[in-house]
Amino acid sequence: MLSVILPAYNEEKMLGKSADIISKILEDAKIEYQLIFVNDGSKDNTWNEIEKAVSNNQNIVGVNFSRNFGKESAMLAGLATATGDCCAVIDCDLQHPPEVLVEMYRLWEQGYEVIEAVKRSRGKESLMHKASAGLFYKLISKAVNFDMSRASDFKLLDRKAVDSILSLPEKNTFFRALSSWVGFKATSVEFDVQEREAGESKWSTRALIDYAITNIVSFSSAPMQFVTVAGVLTFIFGMIMGIQTLIKFLTGKAVEGFTTVILLVLIIGSLIMISLGIIGYYISKIYEEVKGRPRYIISKTIGK
Asked whether residue 203 carries a pLDDT value surpassing 60, the answer given is no
Q: What is the pLDDT of residue 165?
A: 85
pLDDT mean over 213-218: 65
Q: What is the pLDDT of residue 5?
A: 92
The three-state (H, E, C) secondary structure of the chain, written as one string: CEEEEEEECCCCCCHHHHHHHHHHHHHHCCCCEEEEEEECCCCCCHHHHHHHHHHHCCCEEEEEECCCCCHHHHHHHHHHHCCCCEEEECCCCCCCCCCHHHHHHHHHHCCCCEEEEEEEECCCCCHHHHHHHHHHHHHHHHHHCCCCCCCCCCEEEEHHHHHHHHCCCCCCCCHHHHHHHCCCCEEEEEEECCCCCCCCCCCCHHHHHHHHHHHHHHHCCHHHHHHHHHHHHHHHHHHHHHHHHHHHHHCCCCCCCHHHHHHHHHHHHHHHHHHHHHHHHHHHHHHHHHHCCCCCCEEEEECC
Asked whether residue 209 carries a pLDDT value surpassing 70, the answer given is no
Per-residue pLDDT tens over the stretch 90-121: 888 888 888 888 888 898 888 888 888 887 76
CB 194 within 8 A of CB 121: no
Pairing of strands 33-39, 60-65: parallel
pLDDT mean over 259-287: 73
156 or 142: which leads in pLDDT: 156
Q: Can you state the angle between helices 205-219 and 258-291, rounded to 10 degrees?
A: 80
Q: What is the largest CA-CA distance in the chain?
A: 92
Quick one: pLDDT band at residue 139, thresholds 50, 70, 90? low
Asked whether residue 38 carries a pLDDT value surpassing 70, the answer given is yes
137 or 71: which leads in pLDDT: 71
139 or 181: which leads in pLDDT: 181
pLDDT mean over 37-41: 89
pLDDT mean over 135-142: 66
Q: What is the pLDDT of residue 36?
A: 92
59: left (phi over 0), alpha (psi -120 to 50) or beta: alpha
Per-residue pLDDT tens over the stretch 222-241: 666 666 677 777 767 766 76
User: Average pLDDT, whole number, for the chain?
Assistant: 77
Nearest to residue 196, comparing CAs of 11, 71, 62? Answer: 11
Does this model's pTM top 0.85? no
